[in-house]
Amino acid sequence: MPELVKIPLANAEYVARFARPCIALIGVDRPRAFEAVVTALLPFQFRLANAQLVDTGTPGDYKTILNLPDRGISFQFGAEEYKFTKEGSSWATVNEDAQVLLAAEGALMEVGGNPTPMTSVSVANAAKVESCMVTLAMHIQLLNKPREEVLAPFIPEPFKKIAEQRKAQRYGNHLVLADGDVLLDFSRGFANGIFLRLDTRFEGHPPLMDMLAKVRSDEEAVFKILDIEEETP
């Protein structure tokens, strides 16, 4: 029977990178994009006081940030990518959170995909998503079994003896895959906890719910390998 666990903290991040920098989104079309995304977020109780314009560093650092603090959500965009983050993420609220992302993303891409018609260069610079990355980062707290016992099988065989002799304090694993990576380690924030970060990359710009279905499948596969199961309320 899988070991029961709690997930006291989990964050999610979605990043979409453009095929080439869309300079208009930090230049001539920035006010249009800002107004469009603000308008899209107003039904979700967005307040202008929770917006920030960053214009320091190199052009790659310029970004527009819009926060929904009551929802733990942030949406930001710049010339190279746009990013959605959710603090305190949960599959129970994924549909609600997805509606916020889709609204902001749709508004931004409507502007970015139709830049101000000034020159042929601006048309060529229309925003087009080349790849996406979804990241889940969570702290998993075991209810009965020691975390050392759960993670011990992931110590490479040649190191097991020295880990036992010298009483290894932390150990985990980082597996880099063709379409993402998996990181396991001891949690520093929760007693008897394991930290899991799961990155899943996608080529192009697949439908959001298809991406989330793949991410959930990846999470379930890792839980099965760890032989753990989240405790139901």
Spatial neighbors of 135 by CB under 8 A, at least 6 apart, are 12, 13, 14, 15, 197, 198, 199, 200
Q: Are residues 70 and 138 in the same domain?
A: no
Domain boundary among 83, 101, 127: 127
Would residue 106 count as lying in a domain? yes
Nearest of 228, 141, 136, 150 to residue 182 by alpha carbon: 136
Please tell me whether residues 115 and 35 are part of one structural domain: yes
- 10 and 37 fall within a common domain: no
Judging by beta carbons within 10 Å of its beta carbon (0-12, 13-18, 19+), is residue 220 exposed, middle or buried? Answer: exposed
Q: Which long-range contacts (CB under 8 A, 24 or more apart) does 143-152 make?
A: 143/3, 143/4, 143/5, 143/6, 143/231, 144/3, 144/4, 145/3, 146/192, 147/186, 147/187, 147/192, 147/193, 147/194, 150/3, 150/194, 150/226, 150/227, 150/228, 151/184, 151/186, 151/194
pLDDT in tens, 8-47: 999 999 999 999 999 999 999 999 999 999 999 999 999 9
- Is 229 a residue whose pLDDT tops 70? yes
Based on DSSP, count helices (H) and strands (E) in the chain, helices before strands: 6, 10
Same domain membership, residue 123 and residue 27: yes
Q: What rounded mean pLDDT belongs to the chain?
A: 92
Same domain, yes or no: 123 and 137: no
Helix axes 94-112, 208-226, angle to 10 degrees: 140
Question: Residues 24, 117: one domain?
Answer: yes
Check whether residue 140 and residue 116 sit in a common domain: no
Tell me if 52 is assigned to some domain: yes
Are residues 91 and 146 located together in one domain of the fold? no
**Rounded (5°) CA angle 144-147-152:** 130
Query: Does one domain contain both 39 and 112?
Result: yes
Angstrom distance (rounded) from CA 46 to CA 29 = 21
CB under 8 Å to 196, separation ≥6 — which residues?
A: 136, 137, 138, 140, 182, 183, 184, 222
Same domain, 73 and 137: no
> pLDDT band at residue 191, thresholds of 50, 70 and 90?
very high
Residue 119 lies in a domain: yes
In total, how many domains does the chain have? 2
* Residue at 72 is within a domain: yes
Q: Of 108-112, 128-132, 165-169, where does mean pLDDT reach its minimum?
A: 165-169
Q: Is this model's pTM higher than 0.85 or not?
A: yes
Residues 137 and 211 in one domain: yes
Determine the average pLDDT of the residues in 179-192: 94
Domain closes at, from 77, 104, 127? 127
Q: Is 71 part of any domain? A: yes
Look at residue 232 and tell me if it is in a domain: no
- Which tokens is 205 given? 């710009």
Query: Residues 82, 175: one domain?
Result: no
Among 127, 155, 183, the domain boundary falls at 127
Q: Give the residue numbers spanning the domain of 28.
A: 20-127
Q: What pLDDT is recorded for position 165?
A: 77
| pLDDT tens-digit readout, 60-117 | 999 999 999 999 999 999 999 999 999 999 999 999 999 999 999 999 999 988 766 6
Which residues, in sequence order, are bridge partners of residue 181?
176, 199
